[in-house]
Structure 1
């Protein structure tokens, strides 16, 4: 997880562009669905940055507005910026809709910042041949942080990830070790050590397996009704995609 601020003109302009999305109908699913509550599927791919955080916030807001049965985030990331990571985890922890994090497809990883994000879901799952961990803070070049800032960044990250693990009933000691010792876990280890809740082959398998679970959101306890729910992909709109790669 990188400790730095992303200084880039495109990112500084993201707020104005995000506001413009609503005017053009690009910022929401605008479902208007009758019948069973839908499951929205978002995607967290590549490095975590302010654009990722804005996109995640939009998808969660879509889920809340549409009374979604759940919002699933499919995750494959090497990590990213600490400030953006904390914004994402804070959004998950305060969400009024169930958040399901899913490290997928096979071969994907939730490394560094992805560890925090995955563990912050109300339900956390991993596909076969995936891994999670190695969450020690690093500087913008990927190297060790030097001096007093190293301990400060490490302790702050430990406090945050342990709070997440405690809130979600997950392995607090492993969470701390992921930051302090950069430990990682394969999917089978992650399930056995209660880092995540289950293994699933794909989104359909995941939704079948979590159906009937009860989770507690900021709006209260909710029982997941996901097995036969309509699934709607809530990917990045064209402007979000452009900003992500600028």
Structure 2
């Protein structure tokens, strides 16, 4: 496969990635209505940036369609603090009144989200609290982060005149509130009954009908906003653990594809992984179409470097463009740079293993010199003069250990067995290998 095939293949891959992302990321059309409605928005599973993007879209849609009340149905064990902070900002700035309806767990970041709503209603048997901040390894965060988080929880409680001490107890085990089971090393987790007692819930509602009755909106039209299939994908692929996996599969798949005959599984896997990465971040609202243009430009620059090798400028610019497109598409620079580093290490290690045991078989095979001249094929860099072994001559220069010696009027470059040999000392050739001639000192001085 020649170079023109290489450029067509790489351009084809990059164009498909960009085209599919643009096509699949088109936002769904929404119908307009002037009816008075209550919008139910699910806040489920882990709190992460994909959920933030979904809630941003949902809150905006509810407002544009004239919602009179937004109900956040919360059932989450918590998640990322930064995502929860952004979600809380969206709720506080909503032009439509909001109600947090706890249908399961409102723990950690979920409790913080609930506290930012205008009012909280809990279903029987549900809980809210346990909001300590932990790092990626599950250990308590540093004091600076803990202090900031405690202040954030307290301020959220104060928004609707709730006693901030209970919010603090959700994240601080030193707060002693025995009447609700906090203190003595335990974080506060409020049951629905406890939440009513301490003023952290306005009502208990077993179902939506009871909730609407509490809101005095029994005759309101109910509309459910659900996570679309595209948003489900976005929530999955924008998870901090999934991103390095996608980038590793993408980079490794494309590298192996260039060294494999035809278009097969590695190329499909690499293409799919890159598509999911950009698609997810585009749907989540972290990236625009400009990152796709930058990514395609990076691919083109690398192609130019491969086909017209020079000083590596185009290759470096291409790599910078690709990395830049990923950084711009990501919500966290630190996370994406770490993910790229992990992907590079995995790609290099697996590629070395692959090339060592399977060799080069793809379109780049013709661009890599794999032919070698070996001694088994009769190629030698210098002839080995075995007939010189045993010849006796003298050192015409000092051997330290290399120098020059004369054998029957033939001057040869030689090396001693390791020791110093003085000029004029008698020597004997003991070994030859290519241009290397080894001599040994004889214990007598050569005399004409």
Residue 106 of structure 2: which of 103, 110, 130 is its match? 110
The 5-angstrom pairing of residues 81-100 of structure 1 reads: 81-100=80-99
The 5-angstrom pairing of residues 1-246 of structure 1 reads: 20-22=25-27, 24-25=28-29, 30-35=30-35, 37-104=36-103, 108-145=104-141, 150-181=142-173, 182-211=187-216, 226-246=217-237
Alpha-carbon distance between aligned partners in 2 of 1:191 and 1:141, rounded to the nearest angstrom:
34
How far the C-alpha of 1:171 sits from its partner, in A, is: 2.4
Alpha-carbon distance between aligned partners in 1 of 2:218 and 2:133, rounded to the nearest angstrom:
38
Alpha-carbon distance between aligned partners in 1 of 2:139 and 2:147, rounded to the nearest angstrom:
17
Per the alignment, in what secondary structure is the counterpart of residue 180 of structure 1? coil
Alpha-carbon contact 2:34-2:66 (below 8 Å) kept:
no
How far the C-alpha of 1:31 sits from its partner, in A, is: 3.7
Alpha-carbon contact 2:34-2:65 (below 8 Å) kept:
no
Larger relative contact order (CA 8 Å, sep ≥ 6): 1
Alpha-carbon distance between aligned partners in 1 of 2:112 and 2:67, rounded to the nearest angstrom:
23
Cα distance change, pair 197–31 in 1 and its aligned pair in 2 (3 A): farther
How far the C-alpha of 1:45 sits from its partner, in A, is: 0.9
Stretches of structure 2 lacking an aligned partner (at least 5 in a row): 1-20, 174-186, 238-448
Structure number with greater Rg is 2
Alpha-carbon contact 1:40-1:72 (below 8 Å) kept:
yes
Q: Deviations over 1:44-96 (max 9, x none)?
A: 11110000011111111112111201111111111100000000111111111
Per the alignment, in what secondary structure is the counterpart of residue 72 of structure 1? strand
How far the C-alpha of 1:127 sits from its partner, in A, is: 0.3
Cα distance change, pair 179–21 in 1 and its aligned pair in 2 (3 A): farther
TM-score by length of 2: 0.44
Alpha-carbon contact 1:85-1:117 (below 8 Å) kept:
yes
How far the C-alpha of 1:200 sits from its partner, in A, is: 0.6
Stretches of structure 1 lacking an aligned partner (at least 5 in a row): 1-15, 212-225
Alpha-carbon distance between aligned partners in 1 of 2:207 and 2:134, rounded to the nearest angstrom:
32
**Over 4 Å off, 4+ runs:** none
Structure 1 or 2: larger helix share? 2
How far the C-alpha of 1:112 sits from its partner, in A, is: 0.6
Per the alignment, in what secondary structure is the counterpart of residue 136 of structure 2? coil
Superposed CA RMSD: 2.0
Per the alignment, in what secondary structure is the counterpart of residue 176 of structure 1? helix
Alpha-carbon distance between aligned partners in 2 of 1:116 and 1:34, rounded to the nearest angstrom:
32
